[in-house]
Structure 1
Amino acid sequence: MNHTNSASTRLVAPSATPRPPEDWVTMSRDPSAPSASIFEEQERELASEREQERYFQKPKPYQASTHIIDPAIKQFIATGKVKPGVFKGAFQTLGNTTAAKEFLVSDFPLSDLLVSRDFAHTIETSRTELDFVSDLYQRHVQWVLTSFDKTNTVQHMVVISPYEADALLPEIGKENCVTLHIYTPRVSIHYPPLDSLNLYTVPVRHPPPTIPESLLVQLNLFSGHLYLATYNECLRVCEFLNLATEATREGWAVAGDGFIVQRADGAPATFHTSPVKFFKLLMGQIRRNCDNIDKTHMGQILNGELLRPEDFSD
């Protein structure tokens, strides 16, 4: 994960070689030829592009972290139990991102969506480097370990690194306390959702454990899942984010971004301040490398738009 630290300079070349002055005179005599003002406008546009694209600063180089197998992961595989404080909450690992400047990750509720140390720790940084921003060094969610209780309901989710998934596969297959799932967020409406976590599992379980909806919502939000399968899923996402799903009712107060400031029904909310800016940065800038997500389901939700059942394929 090393990067070079040299800044490169790139100039945008004009689309064609500039014409000599005599050609401008000839063209000005032709009534069908473009006027000089058009060419002047094009030159101004090109100059603007050259100014905007002149410099590109590459990210600072860091040494990639050495992969480790945390004993806590092995214990989780062997027992299906999670000791308090052993794993970090998934959203708490985003404290060094630009998204965390908009919302305190400590304000996320306690959750059973956890991550391993090897997943979260991708590069070596100095403890004194207070201005470090980890946006470019976030690992994508691919492998998830789950444990289940006596009712065959998923109790804990631990996101692990590809290295851990490969190294621990024999132990996972031998023990009967956890399940390994392959996962990827849905970033195109043309791809089917994989958040049911049943595409590939080790071991195969019949029947598969039931996954609480709240855990799936958090997994999808953390990973950068952009398209929802159903309107009910949209309602669950908005409920978790404390966002309005309909026009403001009497006695309710809703902010411009859709965050419910005051509820007339007195129902408890996940957040007391809006997490909208946080998730806009997480999903667009960090997970999608600054792609525009405005036309996606999550982009519309985070822009305060009210989606309807007909906006979904079901």
Structure 2
Amino acid sequence: MDIVQQDLPEQHHTNALVLEFLLQAGNFVALMPPPNTTVSNDGERFLDFVMQLDKPVEVILDVGAHILELDNLGVAKAWLRKSSLHKEAAIYCNDNDQLCVVDRFGRSELLLTSSFVSRLDVCVVYLDEAHTRGIDLKLPPLCRAAVTLGPRVTNDRLKQACMRLRKLGKGQNVTFCVPDDIQSQIGERGQLVQEQPINVQDVLFWVITETFAEVRRNMSLWAVQNTNYSIQQMKWEKNARDGRHTLTKEAAEEFLEPEARDSSYRYGPKPDKKSPLAILESRKELRFREIAQKCKAFGMIEFQSRKLNEEQERELSPEVDVDAERVVQRALPATPADHKLHDDVVKFVDEGVVDLKSKAYGPVFETLRNTSAGEVFDVSQLKNQYLLATTDFAQTVKNPCKGSLADSFQRSVQWILTIRNRVGNNVEYMLIVSPFEAQELLPHVSVSQTATLHLYRPRYNVTYRDMSKLDFCTIPSRHTAPVVPEDLATQLNIFAGQLYFSSYQDYVGACKFLGLSCVPITNEMRKRGWKVASDGFIERDDQGKPGGQQSRVRSSPVNFLKVLLSVVRRNGEDISKTHLGGLLDHNLLGPADFEQ
């Protein structure tokens, strides 16, 4: 209230100078497509979008904080990797707010001490949101920056970021990258009709309206702080004697403010129901009435929270000021088992011969018998002679252990050998092998007419692609892709610890294999003899068979699978929010719960 802005006439022309530069013809708007699942994170997706722009971009100004998954160095390396070979390095700000440069060999150093300080024309530049203000770089006279937009981007923040281009409007230009959610906001604020293109004027209009909204949001904070200051100033002046201020203990306690609202304030009777603004207007001091008038001028008619967004420093209790750290209890070191390539495994590749009595391999779920999951379930119920695992894959340590100790030494599924039937392309046998066996068998597989080696990874994240079709990295390359039977793919995914289904059909197939109900049990079904346990296991169908007609499971596998997926495969991580977690919690899923 005591500060008066001096708007000097000789500086009037600078008020909208940056906006004038941004409205020039060389600046454009690029609309970003909606997010998709083909790219692992937003950072990679945005860099791919920038590389596809019609006008090449040498600078990224992330005003909207669009890239969150990667740190600054990670963004710089990823962008440099995607850039043309003409660009030799990438500039970024490190955690100490220092400008650094990283070259194509991954070597990072301070920009000021590097050879690139005078060769910015061979560098790309990435500035995150926190460093789009206050950084001064002598960029090439002809360059273009990609400027991201995001929620609550104000006029000052946008102009400060664009002014990193010191010659903006004189050879240097910008391209505004507008995310999908901001596009709809710009259309609503500018009252654009559908399919009407968004231009620079629309972007600036939206930014100015965001600035107005930000000012309104901050008026409550301004009013509270101004009121508190005025009250404390009056208390301070009250303690003045002969031009000197003396502060007694009682007077000092008057300056204390309540840390929080107590129960009597929250739930007790409120004799004075006037709003804070009404109370300010009713006070005789002119300063308080001016505060209320200022709030009304900005369209704020009420504020409730006393503290609002104030930042305060407080002393925390020692027991509260301790960050909890997750402690992972790991198994004691064990002696690794010696690798061995069995002759029957070589015969599987060279001749396509499967000896079900061989000690070189066996049913995959039998490898889990000694784990903590195998202790609560008879894994022989899941036995399948067409889905096998080698002994070298199963035995990772010399002295086999049991229970929770064995959980720590389970190998993840990565390499799979397949044999197709002689009539078509259907996969008849799957053999999971260890990385050692995959390496040793590579010369045999490369010339084999019967066996194929596949790279596999379970789908731990919803954004991962489903690799159970075994069409990724096949050795040798075949003219036709393999056809994996649904039951084999389902069992492979469950054994490997996959957490997400690709379709509703996959979900139904998993339920049928495990003997779990995938539909609600109606009264009509109960009358016909159906009985389903609380965990979803079919205790009896209409013909009296446990698990249903298409399952060999005789007892509930739910606890077994929870331990397998959460403890053995994911080191104790929570899986309740995944498809498999919902299945094991007996949450019935529908087609809408899966990707289309």
Coarse TM-score class (shorter-chain normalised): 0.7 to 0.9
Q: One-letter code of the match for 2:470?
A: L
Aligned equivalent of 2:104: none
* Structure 1 residues 130 and 230, CA gap change in structure 2 (3 angstroms): closer
Q: One-letter code of the match for 1:305?
A: N
| TM-score with structure 1 setting the length | 0.82
Q: 2:573 aligns to what SS in structure 1?
A: coil
- Verify: 1:302 aligned to 2:584, yes or no: yes
- For 2:455 and 2:403, locate their aligned partners in 1 and report how far apart those are by CA, in whole Å: 34
Aligned equivalent of 2:343: 71
Q: Is the 8 A contact 1:181 1:200 kept in 2?
A: yes
- Verify: 1:109 aligned to 2:335, yes or no: no
* Structure 1 residues 33 and 228, CA gap change in structure 2 (3 angstroms): same
Aligned equivalent of 1:213: 486
Q: 1:158 aligns to what SS in structure 2?
A: strand
Q: 2:373 aligns to what SS in structure 1?
A: helix
* Structure with more contact order per residue of length (Cα contacts < 8 Å, sep ≥ 6): 1
- Verify: 1:247 aligned to 2:525, yes or no: no
2:447 to 174, 177, 198: 174
Q: Is the 8 A contact 1:96 1:133 kept in 2?
A: no
Deviation string for 1:174-224 (max 9, x for gaps)?
Answer: 111101011000111111111110011111222223211111011000001
1:33 to 259, 269, 273: 259
Q: One-letter code of the match for 2:347?
A: Q
Deviation string for 1:73-126 (max 9, x for gaps)?
Answer: 101001112112222110000111110121012232333110111111111116
* Structure 1 residues 71 and 302, CA gap change in structure 2 (3 angstroms): same
- For 1:27 and 1:175, locate their aligned partners in 2 and report how far apart those are by CA, in whole Å: 88
1:159 to 432, 457, 462: 432
Q: Is the 8 A contact 1:116 1:158 kept in 2?
A: yes
* Structure 1 residues 155 and 285, CA gap change in structure 2 (3 angstroms): same
Aligned equivalent of 1:122: 396
- For 2:258 and 2:428, locate their aligned partners in 1 and report how far apart those are by CA, in whole Å: 74
Q: One-letter code of the match for 1:162?
A: P
Q: Is the 8 A contact 2:455 2:472 kept in 1?
A: yes
- For 1:65 and 1:206, locate their aligned partners in 2 and report how far apart those are by CA, in whole Å: 38
- Verify: 1:263 aligned to 2:541, yes or no: yes
Q: Is the 8 A contact 2:363 2:383 kept in 1?
A: no
Q: Is the 8 A contact 2:418 2:431 kept in 1?
A: yes
* Structure 1 residues 240 and 46, CA gap change in structure 2 (3 angstroms): farther
- For 2:595 and 2:336, locate their aligned partners in 1 and report how far apart those are by CA, in whole Å: 42
* Structure 1 residues 208 and 58, CA gap change in structure 2 (3 angstroms): closer
- For 1:113 and 1:227, locate their aligned partners in 2 and report how far apart those are by CA, in whole Å: 20
Aligned equivalent of 1:83: 355
- Verify: 1:147 aligned to 2:419, yes or no: yes
- For 2:593 and 2:512, locate their aligned partners in 1 and report how far apart those are by CA, in whole Å: 18
1:62 to 334, 359, 364: 334
Cα shift at 1:27: 9.1
- For 1:97 and 1:123, locate their aligned partners in 2 and report how far apart those are by CA, in whole Å: 14
Corresponding residue pairs, total: 282
Q: 2:551 aligns to what SS in structure 1?
A: coil
- For 2:254 and 2:499, locate their aligned partners in 1 and report how far apart those are by CA, in whole Å: 53
Q: 2:482 aligns to what SS in structure 1?
A: coil
Q: One-letter code of the match for 2:558?
A: V
Q: Is the 8 A contact 1:81 1:147 kept in 2?
A: no
Q: Is the 8 A contact 1:119 1:160 kept in 2?
A: yes
* Structure 1 residues 209 and 268, CA gap change in structure 2 (3 angstroms): closer
- For 2:471 and 2:463, locate their aligned partners in 1 and report how far apart those are by CA, in whole Å: 19
* Structure 1 residues 130 and 146, CA gap change in structure 2 (3 angstroms): closer
- For 1:229 and 1:67, locate their aligned partners in 2 and report how far apart those are by CA, in whole Å: 35
- Verify: 1:282 aligned to 2:564, yes or no: yes
Q: Is the 8 A contact 1:145 1:158 kept in 2?
A: yes
Q: 2:462 aligns to what SS in structure 1?
A: coil
* Structure 1 residues 133 and 309, CA gap change in structure 2 (3 angstroms): same
Q: 2:428 aligns to what SS in structure 1?
A: strand
- For 2:457 and 2:580, locate their aligned partners in 1 and report how far apart those are by CA, in whole Å: 16
Q: One-letter code of the match for 2:381?
A: D
Deviation string for 1:121-141 (max 9, x for gaps)?
Answer: 111116xx6667310111110
- For 1:162 and 1:224, locate their aligned partners in 2 and report how far apart those are by CA, in whole Å: 18
Aligned equivalent of 2:575: 293
- For 1:246 and 1:88, locate their aligned partners in 2 and report how far apart those are by CA, in whole Å: 34
- For 2:475 and 2:460, locate their aligned partners in 1 and report how far apart those are by CA, in whole Å: 25
| TM-score with structure 2 setting the length | 0.44
- Verify: 1:95 aligned to 2:369, yes or no: yes
Cα shift at 1:304: 0.5
Q: 1:74 aligns to what SS in structure 2?
A: helix
- For 1:28 and 1:286, locate their aligned partners in 2 and report how far apart those are by CA, in whole Å: 60
Aligned equivalent of 1:313: 595
Q: 1:145 aligns to what SS in structure 2?
A: strand
* Structure 1 residues 44 and 235, CA gap change in structure 2 (3 angstroms): same
Unaligned runs of 5+ in 1: 1-25
Q: Is the 8 A contact 2:501 2:507 kept in 1?
A: yes
Q: 2:452 aligns to what SS in structure 1?
A: strand
